[in-house]
């Protein structure tokens, strides 16, 4: 049997086994977020990582749509200018 990790295995989570409750290799806050989707953002790096990932994805989505709108606007502007 392997020795348990001394800190939570979630990326960038600073919680150590000596500081609180663990469920397997996850600290209780990260385990709670992963299993229920509810986070105490003060203690849960998994929740903060998820928010950061979602914000990054939303930002990319907005940039893509903005480029698409700009292309359509330019095409329509060109059609209107050409007809005049």
Residue at 12 is within a domain: no
Residues 25-39: tens digit of each pLDDT:
988 888 888 888 776
Residue at 61 is within a domain: yes
Residue at 65 is within a domain: yes
Q: Which residues lie closer than 8 Å to 12 by C-beta, 6 or more apart?
A: 45, 49
Residue at 44 is within a domain: yes
**Termini Cα distance of the chain:** 79
Q: How many domains does the chain have?
A: 1
Cβ burial, residue 4 (10 Å; 0-12/13-18/19+): exposed
Query: What range defines the domain where residue 37 resides?
Result: 17-83
Residue at 46 is within a domain: yes
Residue at 3 is within a domain: no
Q: Where is pLDDT greater, at 21 or 82?
A: 21
> 0.75 cut: is pTM over it?
no
Residues across the chain: 84
Residue at 11 is within a domain: no
């Amino acid at each position: 049997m392997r020795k348990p990790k001394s800190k939570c295995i979630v990326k960038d989570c600073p919680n150590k086994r000596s500081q609180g409750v663990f469920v397997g290799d996850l600290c209780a806050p990260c385990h709670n977020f992963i299993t229920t989707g509810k986070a105490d953002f003060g203690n849960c790096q998994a929740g903060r990582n998820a928010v950061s990932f979602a914000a990054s994805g939303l930002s990319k989505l907005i940039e893509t749509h903005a480029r698409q709108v700009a292309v359509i606007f330019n095409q329509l502007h060109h059609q209107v200018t050409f007809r005049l």
